[in-house]
Chains A and B, each alone.
Chain A
Amino acid sequence: MTDVQLAAAQNVVVTIAETGETYRCRTDESLLTGMYRLGKRGIPVGCRGGGCSVCKVQITAGAYAQMRPMSREYVSDDDLAQGRVLACCVRPLEEVTVAVIGKLNKCVTRSGT
């Protein structure tokens, strides 16, 4: 990230579709960083490195750019084509709306039961 890019970073509004929660996210930070830095909630926060998928979102409106590699175990080519991405790895280029599809799945019972 150069100083020129930093100086050019803007704040844009991100809307979480399910809750209507909005927050202002910088165009040089990830959707997830923008959310939790402001203490907002809605997208689950996991590894923040593209490895775990709990922050997976569907971008339903607005342009975005990928900042970091995402584990392809959780993001297929079809996902990429359809705007299903990890919120920790993409940054908004303009006002965007996201639907949360990542889950905090847990397994506390015996396998197969």
Chain B
Amino acid sequence: MGVTGVMRPGHAQIRVLNLEEDAKFYREVLGLVETGRDAQDRVYFKAWDERDHHSLILRQSDKAGIDFFGFKVDSAATLDKLEGDLNAYGVKTERVPAGELLATGERVRFEVPTGHVIELYADKKDVGNGLPYSNPAPWCPQAEKGIAPTRMDHALLGGGDLDGARDIFINVLGFYLTEEVVAEDGKTQIAVWLSCSNKTHDIAFVRAPENGKLHHVSYWIETWERVLRAADIMSMNNVPVDIGPTRHGITRGATIYAFDRSGNRFETFSGGYISYPDMHKLTWPVEHLPEGLDYAQRKLHETFLTVFS
């Protein structure tokens, strides 16, 4: 079996400035399925084709941004092993009890040097995608509601010590580097794309002036045509669009960057290529960032390196 250890991104907890306005946005415009609310008034969502209970949690706050980003691992034994490996590498961890997030088992939580809180967990309740496990139809009505991505795909996080965060993901958690943007010195990485799977990235980091910043949470869409449909839906709903629709040179994915009602960037993303750990990394010298970011327009979008929540 190929995908072992850390399997995939599992959840992002995002801070919003007006909970009901953003809950409505994620439910009706992005088209996620609301799956629960907890005693802390957090609102839980999943994309229609995800089977686990949630992949996005919204929390009311007076500051926008991201509280934590979590990955699902393949077993409780792996969770224990990775916690030990993190500790041996000098990364302090803490255990968050099962049930602190709805339908979720115990989580191992730690901070990476970019100031982000990362979590690992092995258990989250399978609530299904609305289709039976025997003889399922290919989609259900929820697949047509709003933008309707099929899954939460990855996040791009911003902070100062990109090198330190990258090393933990590569040296301890088993990720590999797929692509990088490199500064004029030919060495310093300005951004890195890291995979724990066959995806071009499961998490990415960009060097940012402040720590703990959210660049975007990305949602997967099946086709470029549906990315264009997402653009229509964004415009119909006055969603502030940052970049796109276009195609990234980096990862080759079709994309739109846009913002939720609290200024947290999200991406609707499609395509890319299948990646393997033995493949040579792809390098984008920073003078080619314009086409790395927006291959169609070859345009340097200054907001890519400057706008975070």
- A residues within 8 A CB of B200? none
User: What 1/0 flags go to A44-56 for Cβ under 8 Å of B?
Assistant: 1111111110100
Query: For the complex, what is the distance from the CA of A104 to the CA of B302, rounded to whole Å?
Result: 8
- B residues within 8 A CB of A3? none
Would you give the shortest CB distance from A33 to chain B, in whole angstroms?
A: 9
- B residues within 8 A CB of A69? 17-18, 62, 262
A19 on the B face (CB < 8 A): no
Complex contact B305–A71 (CB within 8 A): no
- Other-chain residue from A45, A51, A54, A109 in contact with B17 (beta carbon distance below 8 A): A51
- Other-chain residue from B183, B209, B259, B306 in contact with A49 (beta carbon distance below 8 A): B259
- Other-chain residue from B190, B209, B303, B309 in contact with A51 (beta carbon distance below 8 A): B309
Stretch of B34-42, B122-130, B157-165 with 4 or more beta carbons under 8 angstroms from chain A: B157-165
A38 on the B face (CB < 8 A): no
User: What 1/0 flags go to A22-60 for Cβ under 8 Å of B?
Assistant: 000000000000000000000011111111101000000
Contact of A52 with B308 at beta-carbon distance under 8 Å, contacts A71-B262, A109-B188 already known: yes
- A residues within 8 A CB of B163? 110-111
- B residues within 8 A CB of A51? 17, 64-65, 259, 262-264, 309
Would you give the shortest CB distance from B51 to chain A, in whole angstroms?
A: 31
B54 on the A face (CB < 8 A): no
Contact of A49 with B63 at beta-carbon distance under 8 Å, contacts A54-B307, A71-B17, A111-B207 already known: no
Complex contact B309–A107 (CB within 8 A): no
Contact of A105 with B64 at beta-carbon distance under 8 Å, contacts A47-B240, A69-B17, A111-B162 already known: no
B286 on the A face (CB < 8 A): yes
Complex contact B263–A106 (CB within 8 A): no
B265 on the A face (CB < 8 A): yes
A78 on the B face (CB < 8 A): no
Name A47's closest neighbour in chain B (CB-CB). Answer: B263
User: What 1/0 flags go to B249-275 for Cβ under 8 Å of A?
Assistant: 000000000011111110000000000
Complex contact A46–B306 (CB within 8 A): yes
Complex contact B306–A105 (CB within 8 A): yes
Classify chain B's interface size: 20 to 34
B102 on the A face (CB < 8 A): no
- A residues within 8 A CB of B302? 104, 106
- A residues within 8 A CB of B265? 47
Most buried by A among B263, B286, B307, B309: B263
User: What 1/0 flags go to B160-174 for Cβ under 8 Å of A?
Assistant: 111100000000000
Query: For the complex, what is the distance from the CA of A45 to the CA of B190, rounded to whole Å?
Result: 22
User: What 1/0 flags go to B118-162 for Cβ under 8 Å of A?
Assistant: 000000000000000000000000000000000000000000111
Complex contact B209–A48 (CB within 8 A): no
Complex contact A71–B190 (CB within 8 A): no
A18 on the B face (CB < 8 A): no
Would you give the shortest CB distance from A89 to chain B, in whole angstroms?
A: 9
- B residues within 8 A CB of A46? 263, 303, 306-307
User: What 1/0 flags go to A79-113 for Cβ under 8 Å of B?
Assistant: 00000000010000000000000011111111110
Complex contact B309–A47 (CB within 8 A): yes
Complex contact B263–A107 (CB within 8 A): no
Q: Please give 20 more A-B residue pairs, beta carbons under 8 A apart, in addition to A50-B17, A51-B259, A111-B161.
A: A46-B303, A47-B240, A49-B263, A50-B263, A52-B308, A69-B18, A71-B63, A71-B64, A71-B262, A73-B64, A104-B302, A104-B306, A105-B209, A106-B208, A106-B209, A106-B306, A107-B209, A109-B207, A111-B162, A111-B163
5 nearest A-B residue pairs (beta carbon): A51-B263, A47-B263, A49-B263, A51-B64, A111-B160
18 A–B pairs (Cβ distance < 8 Å), ordered by A: A48-B259, A49-B17, A49-B261, A49-B262, A50-B263, A51-B64, A51-B262, A51-B309, A69-B262, A71-B63, A71-B263, A72-B63, A104-B302, A105-B209, A107-B207, A108-B183, A108-B190, A110-B188
